[in-house]
Chains A and B, each alone.
Chain A
Amino acid sequence: MLAVVLLLLVLLVILIVRRRRHKLPLPTPGHAYLESVNRPAGPTRCIITPNLPATVGRGRENRLRIDETYPGWESVSRKHAEIRMEDSYYILHDLQSTNGTYVNGLRSGVNRLRDGVRIRFGHQVEFIFHENRPSAGAA
């Protein structure tokens, strides 16, 4: 009986944690995030700040790790891409990935990101880049 209650409790905690994850607050101005668009297990978000670049890839060392929960994850390289702030813009760098990084469907090497662009790593793993730009640098 106790075991069942404990199990229920654990499940509840997991559920709450997941809910929390879904309701992440919008990043403060100057911050940005990537949000996955086609992950059957639910969307994920990766916050990027000027001091906290996002590294993307299959490897464990990446902040945004593409694991088997993303369809098409095999086409993502171990160290695939990185997004970091340079001169007040977030810049996407493809790290010589095998299958390429795409911005709005076009293959990219180094790209200055704008709010709302679609970034695809490899063949299928796709994210939308959201940025809350301070008004001065808009455009």
Chain B
Amino acid sequence: MQCPNCGTVNREQAKFCRQCRAPLTVSPPATPINRHEAPTAPLVPPVPDTAPVAPPAPATPPPLVPGSKTRPLSTVDGDTTELPDLIQAGVLTQLPDGEILNETYVIEAVFGDVHPGQKLIAYQATRLHDGWACLQCQGEVQAGNTYCPFCGASITDPSTLPKKRYMVRESITSEPFVQERNIAELHLYHDGIVPVHEFFSYTPYGSTERFYLVSDWVEGPYLSSLPLPQPVDQVLTWGLQLAEALAYLHENNVLHNAVGPESVILTNGGVKLTNFRVAQRLVKGSPPDLVIQGQARDTQMLAQMLYRLLTGLPAYTPGPPLPQDVIPIFVRAQAPDPAQGYHTAQELATDLRRVLQSRPGISRPGGVWQVGHASHVGRVRELNEDGLLVLQLDRVQRSQDIMAGLYVVADGMGGHQAGEVASGMAIQVVAENVLNAVFLPGLRDQPTPDIEAFLKDICQKANTAVRDHARAQGTDMGTTLVVALVLGNTAYIANVGDSRAYLINTSEIRQITTDHSLVERLVATGQITAEEARTHPKRNVIYRTIGDKAQVEADVFRVPLQAGDCLLLCSDGLSGEIDDPTIQRIVLDNQDPQVACQKLIEAANEAGGEDNITVVVIQSKTSGR
């Protein structure tokens, strides 16, 4: 059966293409009604691999297997496999859908060969009794779990979740799984690898024992099925993820030994290293040379693969058609003297990261956003009821979605034991929710919610928390709330009340938020001017706050950020005292945002300091670009 997607010829019963995993059209009708031929009619013999997609991996010496207990199996390309074709010989026949293996796994579909020529049958399976998939991270959820053990998502009833899918590979000998079985015992878990779960033997019928290896079912094509060349930023990003995955394996005393496009699956969440067939678990006391050489070899194979993905060329040639900043990586990777090449995956990761960070068009990782913040009681009030929060995640490991920052300013109202409680509580609710729903999933490369709806939702949650508390205490309290959630180069601003968010750059100062205040309405309807608003007797009256009514509607804004932009959040103690051009001038005059904050507070105090003054300045440092 030919795959409509990539043209690879698959076995007749296959439901998914063995090369690109595209679902194949409905399998042909099952057995004819009157079936007189021998019951063990062999399956349609596997067609030799005709996939033209990728040239064979650059020749790497077959990995050395420690000791002499095992012989080298096959390379990933399968050409040198020494296993007899058991499927064709009719010894290993495919099991039907619905077959229960070892009272644990149920076969859902046959997948076909994982790699052509491996003489294995691969099935898609689920666990019979447990094993559900977390909706957020696809991690394995067991009966009785109320939280996902991998991402912490809350789960009301695991049995309502979709079943987690596994890849179960079957062989007539345990030989293909010798190494993977060792790896399974380590229970490795990393974003960049496909986890290997367990190995077992089972006799489905008769007396022929079969051997099984279970790993995660991962959706997506192998890199070997992609057209060449691939975009530079894309390949470097994959390279970084894979170098980190390799470093993790090496840390855990595992050599992969077969890094190549046939061993990498491209998923929604990035690339994942799989195919541990010839991987090697190093035992304590392995010769240091073996370890060092093995790690260097893995790293070199990865660099070779990246080079091929970038250029389509099998091996390094002087003057490659690559951007200048990328070339040194491959020059070093190909260094004839091993002492000058990459020794560890970590070294390659460091170089890739450095190049990625300096490349245009990719959100630049940590350190480029600088934040200052300050809060002052002012010159009139006795109590500072304002609150602020700065929560910043600078992830230096992925080139995308690296920078995430949460900045909050809340101006509490209601007097002692009320205003500061309200602002603190609102900030706490926002921070907890953002951490759980955005930061943690972001760290795990998991999907985050629709941010705009999410921000509206957390403002409502903060409102409920403050209102419930106020009712319990019998006091009247409330707070304004302005939240800036910066993800990469986009800022999402949510606002309730009259605290403000500004976007400042050399050409303008723009108030992003709209005050929910009486005077703002009067200005908007043209009844007073902005200047009059500053001194209007009812300037403190706001019609929308956190903690006032049961329902609160937050305004949410989406602001793309560019190099040189500053975000400023403040309470009305600042914006009510000094005008916008002054704010802009102070922010731009001070390179250090912390100094800018202090100068702003000084300016507000000089102008009267009638209210608490709180300010957060987020400055992008992209000078030189």
Contact = CB atoms under 8 A, between A and B. Distances in A.
A120 B31 CA distance: 10
Given A37-B33, A123-B36, A111 B205 contact: no
Interface stretch (B88-96, B232-240, B258-266, B397-405): B88-96
B86 to A, nearest CB: 15
A109 B93 CA distance: 12
B98 A102 contact: no
Interface in A5-46: 37-38
B204 A38 contact: no
Given A94-B205, A112-B100, A107 B31 contact: no
Interface in B139-192: none
Contact of A106 (B96, B106, B128): B96
A139 B401 CA distance: 37
> Which of A100, A101, A108, A113 has the most chain B CB atoms closer than 10 A to its own CB?
A108
A103 B206 CA distance: 15
Given A87-B129, A99-B39, A109 B31 contact: no
Contacts, number: 81
Contact of A102 (B31, B97, B204): B31
A112 B40 contact: no
A139 B30 CA distance: 19
B112 to A, nearest CB: 14
A63 interface: no
Contact of B205 (A38, A108, A114, A120): A108
Nearest to A106: B96
Contacts of B129: 87
Contacts of B623: none
Contacts of B97: 103-104, 114
Contact of A124 (B30, B36, B40): B36
Interface residues of B, number: 24
B98 A117 contact: yes
Nearest to B205: A109
B625 interface: no
A111 B100 CA distance: 5
Contacts of A87: 128-129
B223 to A, nearest CB: 32
Interface string B353-380: 0000000000000000000000000000
Contacts of B252: none
A123 B98 CA distance: 21
Given A94-B205, A100-B205, A124-B34, A107 B39 contact: yes
A82 interface: no
Contacts of A102: 31, 39, 96
B205 A91 contact: no
Contacts of B95: 106-109
Given A107-B40, A107-B205, A38 B96 contact: no
Given A94-B205, A100-B205, A105-B30, A110 B35 contact: no
A107 B95 CA distance: 6
B39 A111 contact: no
Contacts of B35: 105, 120, 123-124, 126
Contacts of B34: 38, 124, 126
B579 interface: no
B353 to A, nearest CB: 44
A38 B34 CA distance: 7
A89 B95 CA distance: 19
A16 to B, nearest CB: 29
Contacts of A114: 97-98
Contact of B33 (A38, A110, A117): A38
The 6 closest A-B pairs by CB, nearest first: A105-B31, A109-B204, A103-B96, A106-B96, A109-B205, A104-B30
Interface of A: 37-38, 87, 91, 94, 99-114, 117-118, 120, 123-124, 126
13 contacts: A38-B33, A87-B129, A94-B205, A101-B205, A103-B97, A105-B30, A105-B96, A106-B95, A109-B100, A110-B99, A111-B96, A112-B100, A112-B106
